[in-house]
Chains A and B, each alone.
Chain A
Amino acid sequence: MLRFALRRLIVALLVALTVMVLSFMLTRLSGDLAISIAGASATQADVEIIRRAYGLDRPLVVQFLDWIGRAAMGDFGESFFFKARVADLIAERMPITLTLGLTGLAIALIVSIPLGMLAAVRENTWVDRLVQVIAMFGQAMPSFWLGLILMITLGLQLGWLPISGTGSWQHYVMPGIVLAFSAIPALTRLTRSGMIQALGSDYIRTARAKGLSRLSILGKHALRNAAIPVVSIAAVQLGFMLGGSIVIETVFALHGVGFLAWESISKNDFPVVQAVVLVLALIYIALTMAADLLNALLDPRLRSA
Chain B
Amino acid sequence: MSGAVVMPARRRVAWGKRAGLVIGGVIVGAVLLVAILAPWITPHDPFVQNLDNRLSVPFWMEGAKPGHLLGTDGLGRDYLSRLIYGARISMLIGLLTVVTSGLIGTTLGVLGGFFGGKVDDAVLFAITCRLAIPVVLVALAVVGLLGSSLTLVILVLGLLLWDRFAVVARSTTMQVRNLDYVSAAWAAGLSTPAILLKEILPNIASHLAVVATLEMALAILLEAALSFLGLGVPPPLPSWGLMIAEGKDYMFFSPWVIFIPGVALFILVFGINLLGDGLRDLLGAGDTR
A-side residues, CB < 8 A to B, are 11, 14-16, 18-19, 22, 26-27, 29-30, 36, 124, 126, 129, 132, 136-137, 139-145, 148-149, 151-152, 156, 186, 189, 193, 242-244, 246-247, 250, 258, 261-262, 265-266, 268, 273, 276-277, 280-281, 284-285, 288
Contact = CB atoms under 8 A, between A and B. Distances in A.
Minimum-distance CB pairs A-B, first 10: A243-B134, A140-B270, A265-B144, A145-B262, A140-B269, A30-B145, A281-B132, A18-B129, A280-B134, A129-B16
Nearest to B273: A136
A80 to B, nearest CB: 14
Contacts of B259: 149
Given A19-B132, A145-B265, A149-B262, A280 B137 contact: yes
Contacts of A29: 142, 145-146
B265 A142 contact: yes
Contacts of A280: 134, 137
B287 interface: yes
Given A18-B129, A19-B133, 15 more contacts: A16-B132, A136-B270, A140-B217, A142-B241, A142-B269, A144-B241, A145-B244, A193-B3, A246-B134, A246-B137, A250-B229, A265-B145, A273-B141, A273-B144, A285-B132
B277 interface: yes
A277 B137 contact: yes
Nearest to B220: A142
Contacts of A268: 144-145
B224 interface: yes
A247 B141 contact: no
A22 B244 contact: no
Interface in B121-178: 125, 128-129, 131-138, 140-142, 144-146
Q: Secondary structure at chain B's binding surface: helix, strand, loop or mixed?
A: helix
Contacts of B145: 26-27, 29-30, 36, 265, 268
A148 B244 contact: yes
A137 B217 CA distance: 12
B138 A26 contact: yes
B198 interface: no
Interface string B7-33: 000000010100000000000000000
B136 A284 contact: no
Contacts of B142: 26, 29
B125 A14 contact: yes
A175 B228 CA distance: 17
A299 to B, nearest CB: 13
B24 to A, nearest CB: 10
Given A19-B129, A266-B230, A186 B289 contact: yes
Contacts of A143: 225
Contacts of B252: 152, 156
A142 B140 contact: no
A22 B248 contact: no
A261 B289 CA distance: 30
A152 B255 contact: yes
Nearest to A133: B20
B140 A145 contact: no
B258 interface: yes
B251 interface: yes
A266 B144 contact: yes
Contacts of B3: 193
Contacts of B241: 142, 144
A156 B258 CA distance: 15
Given A144-B225, A152-B252, A265 B289 contact: no
A277 B134 contact: yes
Contacts of B217: 139-140
Nearest to A126: B16
23 contacts: A11-B128, A15-B125, A19-B133, A22-B133, A29-B142, A126-B16, A140-B270, A143-B225, A144-B228, A145-B258, A156-B252, A193-B3, A243-B136, A243-B137, A244-B135, A246-B136, A247-B225, A247-B229, A258-B137, A266-B144, A266-B231, A280-B137, A281-B134
B274 interface: yes
B174 to A, nearest CB: 14
B14, B136, B269 — most chain A CB neighbours (10 Å): B136
B266 interface: yes
B132, B135, B144 — most chain A CB neighbours (10 Å): B132
A19 B137 CA distance: 13
B221 interface: yes
Contact of B270 (A129, A137, A246): A137
Contact of B287 (A149, A193, A265, A288): A193
A276 B221 contact: no
Interface string B241-258: 100100010011001001
A90 to B, nearest CB: 13
Nearest to B221: A142
Contact of A15 (B132, B141, B144): B132
Nearest to A273: B141
B273 A142 contact: no
Contact of B266 (A140, A186, A261): A140
Contacts of B274: 136
A290 to B, nearest CB: 14
